[in-house]
Structure 1
Amino acid sequence: MGKFSIFIIAGLIALSGCGKTVDHKGKTPLVEVGHEFLYKEDLQAAMPVGMRGEDSVRFADEYIHNWITDVLLYKKAEGNIPDNVKIDELVASYRRALIMHTYQEELVNQKLGSEISDAEIEQYYNQNAGMFRANQPYVQGLFMKVPVSARHLNNVRAWYKKNTQEAIDKLEKFSIGNAVSYDYFYDRWIPVSDIAAKLPLKAVDTDTDYLNRNRNVEVRDTAYCYFLHVEHFLPAGQQLPLEYAKSEIKEILINLKRVEFINRMKDDLYKKASEDKDIIYY
């Protein structure tokens, strides 16, 4: 039998011999200190999921030890703090604030939810352009990774540089049976850091203006050829593309609506209390 099991049994035996009746509300007591109980169910809830064997024994021993010392310290402190009234006032103030906060959050979730339309996001983005700046360059274009053994690489060299429907169609057909990776992003912005992770070219990572000066890049290693065409380049410090600002704007708008809703609710409560003569000034 493990150390923890012996500890539990010893605790239960000690409790059973106390000669007093305690309603544990269906829980299984493990330890009692100063009329406070640690229950088996609380220990099980605190134990990390999947913990077994000696690890669970060590965790249980440490958890029980910490619980006991916390209770002992609390009892000691409680008997030596003279201004309990001040502490009670602080606890009451915190409880009041917590109740109000919980109520407000539940009410906001019921009434507002978290739905923000794309039109609202775009409007805020356009009205507050200066707030959203790119912290790195972004590009639009095309990327392809092809085995060095692939046929018709000379055709690829000609196609990937052209932003024409004919060239794109040919690249897409070629990529189906040949490309390891094909990414068409003429219609969306990509951070240069994402490109640098795909391309074995250090300059892309270290020179922030490299892709602005070099719009067609071809690199090869022992296994692959990498082709990158940059159609548009957005320098760092410029307005961040909308798709990358969306999540931040959504959080801003939710918080703005939340504050507006709570302030309106408080004003309505005050107005109603005034009309009902519930506010008495002395």
Structure 2
Amino acid sequence: MMQLVKNTIKLLIGCLIIISCNNSSNDKPIAKAYDKYLYLKDLESVVPKNTHGNDSIAIVNAFIDQWQHEQVMQHQAEENVKVDETSIQAQLEVYRKSLIRFQYEQELIRQKLDTLVSDNEIKKYYDSNKDNFQLKKPILKVSYIKLPQGAPKVSMVKKLFASKDMRDIDLLEKYCFKYSPNFSLMDTTWHYTEEWEKIFPISKISENNYNNINRIFEISDNNALYLIILRDSKFRDSLSPLAFEKDNIKNLILNQRKLALINQMEKEVFEEAQKNNELETYDK
């Protein structure tokens, strides 16, 4: 039975390919649910280009299955709900108007929104709204080196890692390129601890140690040795650094500009309608 289904699907896909190559009006049903039919032409955009064999069969099969499920649920709903067509049409009209207005506003934003936000604007916003930038979780700047079990000269690596001499850092970087599958020596980016956890098991460092800046922590995990230095830390309920909030502030400023642009547009078109005597109010 399963083989018959697969063969049928293969045949349908073959027909679909023929139809896509030959602009035929041959409209063949391929599935049915109650009084509704799914036609071969409905599959034309379902299977991505350059998808063949079992992948195509799986996509088509899933599409047919989903379509039949949707038809069953729609039939069930229509059988068990007294449909208020007037209410539905009113809601559709509200949605239609909202969609048209949204598209107009998006086009207005695309054409007229100034998307350049200077560093001075960002800093001014940050300084004026510091109460809104309190950390809910700790953030850290971290340097780390992952070494496989049995890596050579680990003691030397620790000394170089703790050094601030550029010659030592250069020597350490060359060592890491040769022996470390993953390392970051000079990163100055803030990250939440759960982001670091995706790279190395930072959860093995207690939060009480987050203020031990520039100390080397050693963690052994899954046949690997991690050397970790906390370069800086900010605790929960402390002020989030400007560098960490920069992108967020830029988006906030842009959202404010969007609202101001839309409000200005609404004011101008309303005043224009008044000026052209397009608006009237009648006595009740």
Fold shared per TM-score above 0.5:
yes
Deviation per residue, 1:101-132 (Å, 9 max, x gap): 22212222222275545544343333322222
2:234 corresponds to which residue? 234
Residues 175-184 or 216-225, more deviating: 216-225
Code of the aligned partner of 2:211: N
Q: State the identity as a percent.
A: 21
**Counterpart amino acid of residue 274 in structure 1:** Q
Partner of 2:64: 60
Mapped to 1, the partners of 2:259 and 2:166 lie a distance apart of 49
Q: Kindly tell me: are residues 162 and 43 of structure 1, through their superposed partners in 2, closer, same or farther at Cα, counting changes over 3 Å? A: same
Matches within 5 A, 1:1-282: 28=27, 30=29, 39-45=39-45, 52-53=56-57, 56-57=60-61, 59-60=63-64, 63-64=67-68, 66-67=70-71, 70=74, 81=83, 84-112=85-113, 116-147=117-148, 149-185=150-186, 187-199=188-200, 202-204=203-205, 207-213=206-212, 215-219=214-218, 221=220, 223-282=223-282
SS, match of residue 279 in structure 1: coil
Q: Who wins on radius of gyration, i.e. which is larger?
A: 1
Partner Cα distance (2:32, 2:225) in 1: 70
Q: Structure 2: which amino acid aligns with 1:112?
A: L
For the residues of structure 1 that align with 2:34 and 2:176, how far apart are their CA atoms? 74
Q: Distance in 2 between matches of 1:34 and 1:195?
A: 53
d(CA) in 2 for partners of 1:211, 1:128: 26
1:216 CA drift (Å): 1.6
In 1, Cα distance between equivalents of 2:35 and 2:225: 74
With 113-122 and 166-175 compared, the bigger mean Cα shift is at: 113-122
CA distance in 1, matches of 2:170, 2:197: 26
After the TM superposition, which of the residue ranges 97-106 and 175-184 deviates more from structure 2?
A: 175-184
Contact 1:216–1:227 (Cα < 8 Å) also in 2: no
Q: Structure 2 vs 1, CA of residues 113 and 36 (structure 1 numbering), >3 Å: closer, same or farther?
A: farther
Q: Which residue of 2 aligns with 1:13?
A: none
Secondary structure of the structure 2 residue equivalent to 1:140: strand
- What CA deviation, in whole Å up to 9, does each residue of 1:157-207 have, x standing for no partner? 323223343443342343343434331236333433444455556531xx2
Shift in Å, 1:265: 0.4
Task: Give, in angstroms, the shift of residue 268 of structure 1.
Answer: 0.3
TM-score (norm 2): 0.68
Per-residue displacement from partner, 1:226-263 (whole Å, max 9, x unpaired)?
A: 32233322222222234432343333223211111111
Total equivalences in the alignment = 261
Change (3 A) 1:52 1:216: same
> What is the rounded CA distance, in whole Å, between the counterparts of 1:61 and 1:139 in structure 2?
48
1:267, CA displacement in angstroms? 0.4
Contact 2:46-2:59 at 8 Å conserved across structures: no
1:133–1:166 Cα change, 3 Å: farther
The whole-number CA distance in structure 2 between the counterparts of 1:171 and 1:143 is: 12
Report what 1:21 is aligned to: none
User: AA paired with 1:56?
Assistant: V
How much does 1:93 deviate? Answer: 2.7
Which secondary structure state, in structure 1, belongs to the residue aligned with residue 245 of structure 2?
helix
Structure 2 runs not aligned, ≥5 long = 13-24
Post-superposition CA distance 1:73-94 (Å, at most 9, x none): 65x789x65x644443333233
Query: In the alignment, is the contact (CA less than 8 A) between 1:4 and 1:57 conserved in 2?
Result: no
User: Superposition RMSD on alpha carbons, in Å?
Assistant: 4.3
